[in-house]
């Protein structure tokens, strides 16, 4: 290994060649060595063809991003070599499919090992899919795993058609071991940790808080929340449902909550746009509503399988009219677990409407995570106890007690402006009184957030860097990569904005790092804090920040 304290592995090939599986197997192998892992999947919106790759980085220390400068690159086709020519380090090893790659395509100064992968795979059924097995096999050879260890790995990870898999892997292993066997020595860590994606952490956090039902129509990059809860729902005590559209999703969530079921929905920007009418309904009816908005580049269909933070302004202002919204964005997978539980608890405590805002980079990246399962908040709504029930009775904090069927009391939930009993009204005094009642929830939520962790601070260097969401991981890893000192300020809650914790920065000229072309987060900071950034570093090509590249930009900005 080189001076860098991380090891990076990239495997690339066509969709349908088992690339994602190969990356996951590599990550599992690193995790079994008790090392920290960060896995980033890059894939096009195609079932077959195109170019997919997985970048997995590992270290003995906590690692918060993948690195694109690979120590080992396995290219299953010619396009992968061309796409990643600049993504290999000087001392890297490149294992390539010699049946497709010409020597003229190979980068200079790299130890390149050609393996006739396609020819070897033809001897077995489903040869195209079997190509992906070359990725973890080459990795096993380069880090010095024995053939017996490799056999155990394949038996664990590639159980179907095991005999053919073993034979194909042996051929690749022998070819790579001859020239690069044991090239990279990876030390074992001190503790084995589970691996989770951000979406899995969100699902588990919501379940820990008391989630009853999850509604979603598949939309990348939020879809895997639905997949995870559909697969594990019985064990977790949650029902996962896929209605016919995002409109149906949101309306069913409103209906479920109105009878006492703790509901959550998930989608991306285009789907959430369709949910706005139901979001407004929930605002008037004071129905607890939590939506997970996992951003991708937009507008409209955008780029479905990539990442961006351009839904920030949209997430802060969904629905029409004055609604007491709460919006938060997790910066790590561990925080995604905690925040999903907190947000579900908050929307039920205040009968408010909430958005858990994240991005593909956190939703789908798979990392070793140390989650404290007991750290999750629990839903504890204010319930009616005795006497005459008025659904919207006035309260100091704006929160009226709840009551659900099969009570014999009259329970009115309505989308029309109403009086305390829930009967429709157009009387001026009653309209204003209900506005005041709902608005008091915002002030009450601010007081509640003052007792919570609404802002994270990392480091204590002189330069202040503001960021939020998954970009926090990129910034922290970039600082580590270059040994830079700074104070990283990450607002976790974005609405109500925690100005009470950030007033000290009102006169600062921070660096702002975000993934939107127009600097939406910088605009929010100007509006809420009156700060004028000294530099806004943006990236909006659908790819997350790469630590080495971001470190170079930060170094120039810090001066």
CA distances from 201 to 36, 197, 339, 371, 411 (A): 17, 6, 10, 9, 35
Q: Kindly report the number of other CB atoms within 10 A of residue 242's CB atom.
A: 14
Residue 502, pLDDT above cutoff 70: yes
CATH architecture of residue range(s) 6-180: 3-Layer(aba) Sandwich (3.40)
Min mean pLDDT across 158-167, 218-227, 310-319 is at 158-167
3-state SS assignment for residue 280:
helix
3-state SS assignment for residue 129:
helix
As a whole number, mean pLDDT of residues 447-462 equals 95
Instruction: Check: CB of residue 401 under 8 Å from CB of residue 382.
Output: yes
3-state SS assignment for residue 532:
coil
Q: Which fold has domain 455-558?
A: Rossmann fold (3.40.50)
Instruction: For residue 111, give both structure tokens.
Output: 């130890």
φ, ψ (nearest 5 deg) of residue 134: -65, -25
Instruction: Check: CB of residue 67 under 8 Å from CB of residue 57.
Output: yes
Instruction: Check: CB of residue 351 under 8 Å from CB of residue 400.
Output: yes
Distance, CA of 71 to CA of 9 (rounded, Å): 6
Instruction: Check: CB of residue 514 under 8 Å from CB of residue 520.
Output: yes
Distance, CA of 183 to CA of 185 (rounded, Å): 7
| Whole-number percent of the chain with pLDDT over 70 | 99
Distance, CA of 247 to CA of 216 (rounded, Å): 10
Distance, CA of 131 to CA of 94 (rounded, Å): 16
Q: Report the b/e string of 374-391 with b at 16+ CB within 10 A.
A: eebbebebeebeeeebbb
Give the pTM.
0.96
> H/E/C letters for each residue in 404-462?
CCCCCCCCCCCCCCECCCCCECCCHHHHHHHHHHHHHHHHHHHHHHCCCCCEEEECCCC
First vs last C-alpha separation in the chain: 30
Q: What is the pLDDT of residue 464?
A: 97
Whether the CA torsion 506, 507, 513, 519 is positive or negative: it is positive
Residue 3, pLDDT above cutoff 70: no
Q: What is the pLDDT of residue 1?
A: 35
Degrees, nearest 5: CA angle 384-495-558: 150
The residue behind tokens 């990876």 is: 186
**Two domains, one topology: 195-375 and 455-558:** yes
φ, ψ (nearest 5 deg) of residue 544: -70, 165
φ, ψ (nearest 5 deg) of residue 86: -90, 0
Degrees, nearest 5: CA angle 545-68-141: 150
Residue 54, pLDDT above cutoff 80: yes
Instruction: Kindly state the helix (H) or strand (E) to which residue 393 belongs, with its residue range.
Output: none
Q: Kindly report the number of other CB atoms within 10 A of residue 274's CB atom.
A: 17
> Nearest CA to 366 among 28, 138, 12, 13?
28
> Nearest CA to 450 among 408, 402, 490, 500?
500
Residue 27, pLDDT above cutoff 60: yes
The per-residue pLDDT of the chain, averaged, comes to: 95
Could you tell me the pLDDT band of residue 197, with boundaries at 50, 70 and 90?
very high
> Nearest CA to 96 among 24, 54, 105, 170?
105
Could you tell me the pLDDT band of residue 108, with boundaries at 50, 70 and 90?
confident
Q: What is the pLDDT of residue 186?
A: 96
Domain definitions of the chain by residue range: 6-180, 195-375, 455-558
As a whole number, mean pLDDT of residues 319-334 equals 97
Could you tell me the pLDDT band of residue 136, with boundaries at 50, 70 and 90?
very high
Instruction: Check: CB of residue 238 under 8 Å from CB of residue 406.
Output: no
Distance, CA of 467 to CA of 488 (rounded, Å): 7
Could you tell me the pLDDT band of residue 2, with boundaries at 50, 70 and 90?
very low
Residue 488, pLDDT above cutoff 70: yes
The answer for 182, left when phi > 0, alpha when psi is -120 to 50, beta otherwise, is left
Beta 511-514 vs 263-267: how paired, if at all? unpaired
Instruction: For residue 288, give both structure tokens.
Output: 């607890």
Q: What is the pLDDT of residue 129?
A: 83
φ, ψ (nearest 5 deg) of residue 463: -75, 130
Q: Kindly report the number of other CB atoms within 10 A of residue 181's CB atom.
A: 15
Instruction: For residue 104, give both structure tokens.
Output: 């003229």
| Whole-number percent of the chain with pLDDT over 90 | 92
Distance, CA of 155 to CA of 480 (rounded, Å): 37
CATH architecture of residue range(s) 195-375: 3-Layer(aba) Sandwich (3.40)
């Amino acid at each position: 290994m080189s001076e860098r304290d991380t090891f990076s592995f990239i495997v690339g090939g066509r969709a349908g060649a088992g690339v994602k599986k190969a990356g996951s197997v590599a990550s599992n192998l690193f995790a079994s060595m008790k090392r920290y892992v960060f896995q980033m999947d890059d894939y096009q919106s195609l079932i077959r063809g195109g170019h997919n790759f997985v970048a997995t980085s590992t270290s003995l220390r906590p690692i918060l991003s993948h690195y694109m400068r690979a120590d080992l690159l396995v290219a299953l086709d010619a396009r992968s070599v061309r796409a990643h020519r600049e993504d290999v380090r000087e001392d890297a090893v490149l294992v390539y499919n010699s049946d497709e790659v010409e020597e003229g395509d190979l980068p200079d100064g790299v130890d390149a090992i050609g393996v006739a992968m396609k020819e070897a795979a033809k001897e077995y059924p489903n040869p195209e899919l079997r190509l992906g097995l070359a990725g973890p096999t080459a990795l096993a050879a380069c880090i010095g795993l024995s053939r017996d260890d490799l056999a155990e790995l394949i038996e664990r990870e590639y159980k179907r058609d095991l005999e053919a898999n073993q034979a194909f892997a042996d051929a690749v292993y022998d070819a790579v071991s001859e020239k690069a066997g044991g090239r990279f020595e990876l030390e074992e860590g001190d503790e084995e940790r589970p691996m989770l994606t951000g979406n899995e952490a969100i699902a588990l956090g919501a379940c820990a808080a008391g989630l009853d039902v999850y509604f979603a129509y598949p939309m990348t990059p939020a879809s895997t929340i639905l997949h995870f809860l559909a697969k594990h729902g019985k064990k977790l005590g949650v029902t996962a449902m896929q209605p016919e559209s995002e409109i149906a999703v949101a309306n069913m969530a409103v209906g479920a909550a109105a009878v006492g079921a703790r509901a959550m929905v998930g989608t991306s920007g285009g789907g959430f746009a369709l949910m706005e009418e139901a979001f407004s309904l929930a605002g008037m009816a004071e129905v607890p509503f939590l939506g997970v908005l996992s951003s991708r580049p937009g507008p409209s269909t955008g780029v479905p399988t990539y990442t961006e933070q351009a839904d920030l302004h949209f997430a802060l202002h969904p629905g029409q009219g004055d609604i007491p919204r709460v919006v938060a964005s997790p910066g790590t997978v561990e925080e995604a677990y905690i925040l999903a539980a907190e947000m579900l608890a908050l929307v039920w405590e205040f009968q408010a409407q909430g958005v858990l805002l994240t991005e593909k980079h956190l939703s789908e990246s798979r990392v070793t995570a140390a989650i404290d399962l007991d750290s999750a908040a629990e839903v504890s709504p204010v319930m009616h106890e005795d006497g005459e029930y008025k659904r919207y009775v006035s309260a100091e904090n704006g929160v009226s007690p709840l009551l659900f069927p099969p009570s014999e009391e009259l329970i009115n939930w309505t989308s029309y402006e109403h009086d305390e009993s829930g009967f429709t009204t157009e009387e001026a005094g009653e309209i204003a009184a209900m506005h005041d009642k709902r608005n008091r929830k915002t002030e009450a939520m601010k007081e509640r957030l003052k007792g919570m962790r609404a802002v994270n601070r990392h480091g204590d260097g002189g330069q202040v860097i503001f960021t939020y969401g998954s970009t926090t991981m990129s910034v922290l890893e970039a600082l580590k990569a270059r040994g830079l000192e700074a104070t990283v300020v990450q607002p976790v809650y974005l609405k109500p904005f925690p100005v009470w914790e950030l007033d000290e920065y009102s006169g600062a000229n921070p660096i702002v790092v975000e993934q939107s072309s127009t600097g939406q987060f910088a605009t929010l900071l100007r509006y809420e804090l009156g700060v004028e950034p000294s530099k806004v570093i943006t990236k909006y090509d659908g790819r997350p920040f790469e630590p080495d590249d971001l470190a170079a930009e930060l170094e120039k900005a810090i001066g």
